[in-house]
Structure 1
Amino acid sequence: MKLAKWRELCDRGPELVLCLDFPGGRAAAGFAELAAGTPVELCFLHIGQPDPAAPAQRLDAHVEEWVGEALGTGRPVRAVLGYCAGAALATRVADAIHAVAPVAPPAVILFDAAAVTGTTLCDQFASSLESSSAHLAAGELDDARQWSAELLDAHPDDLPRVAAGLADRYDRLMAGVADRLSLDEFFRRELTSGFAAYLAYLLLAGQGGLDLRAGMPLFLSSQDHEPPVAPACGLSFDVGREQLLRDTEVSTFVAGLLRGDHPW
Structure 2
Amino acid sequence: MAVELTTWRELCDRGRDLVLCLDFPGGRAAAGFADLATGLPVELCFLHIAWLGLHTDSRLDAHIAQWVGEVLGTGRPVRAVLGFCAGTALATRVADAVSATAGATPPAVLLFDAAAVPGGALRDQFVSSVQASAAYLAEGELEDARQWSRELLATGRDDLPRVAAALVDRYDQLMSGIADRLSLGEVIRRELIDGFAAYMAYLLLAAQGGLDLRVGTPIFLSSRAHKPPVDPARVMSFGVDRERLLGDADVWKAVAGVLGEGRP
Q: Scaled by the length of structure 2, what TM-score is found?
A: 0.94
Give the match for residue 26 of structure 1: 28
Query: Aligned with 1:81: secondary structure?
Result: strand
- In 2, the alpha carbon distance for the partners of 1:100 and 1:84 equals 26
In the alignment, is the contact (CA less than 8 A) between 2:84 and 2:112 conserved in 1?
yes
- In 1, the alpha carbon distance for the partners of 2:110 and 2:54 equals 27
1:178-216 deviation digits (Å, cap 9, x = unpaired): 101112333221120000000001111111111111111
Give the match for residue 11 of structure 1: 13
1:87-118 deviation digits (Å, cap 9, x = unpaired): 11111111111111455210000001111112
In the alignment, is the contact (CA less than 8 A) between 1:22 and 1:86 conserved in 2?
yes
State the one-letter code of the partner of 1:78: R
In the alignment, is the contact (CA less than 8 A) between 2:228 and 2:235 conserved in 1?
no
In the alignment, is the contact (CA less than 8 A) between 2:7 and 2:52 conserved in 1?
no
Query: Aligned with 2:210: secondary structure?
Result: coil
Which structure 2 segments of 5+ residues have no match? Answer: none
In the alignment, is the contact (CA less than 8 A) between 1:50 and 1:201 conserved in 2?
no
Task: State how 1:64-75 maps to structure 2 within 5 Å.
Answer: 64-75=65-76
Cα 1:13–1:52 shift into 2, 3 Å: closer
Q: Scaled by the length of structure 1, what TM-score is found?
A: 0.94
Identity of aligned residues (%): 68
In the alignment, is the contact (CA less than 8 A) between 2:109 and 2:219 conserved in 1?
yes
Task: State how 1:64-103 maps to structure 2 within 5 Å.
Answer: 64-101=65-102
- In 2, the alpha carbon distance for the partners of 1:53 and 1:91 equals 20
Q: CA RMSD in A?
A: 1.7
1:50-109 deviation digits (Å, cap 9, x = unpaired): 54662x242111111111111111111100001111111111111111111455210000
In the alignment, is the contact (CA less than 8 A) between 1:80 and 1:90 conserved in 2?
yes
Give the match for residue 133 of structure 1: 134
How far off is 1:158 after superposition?
2.3
Select between 90-99 and 124-133 the one with higher mean Cα deviation: 124-133
- In 1, the alpha carbon distance for the partners of 2:170 and 2:117 equals 20
Query: Aligned with 2:100: secondary structure?
Result: helix
How far off is 1:131 after superposition?
2.0
Mapped pair 1:228 → 2:243: no
Cα 1:103–1:73 shift into 2, 3 Å: closer
- In 1, the alpha carbon distance for the partners of 2:190 and 2:53 equals 14
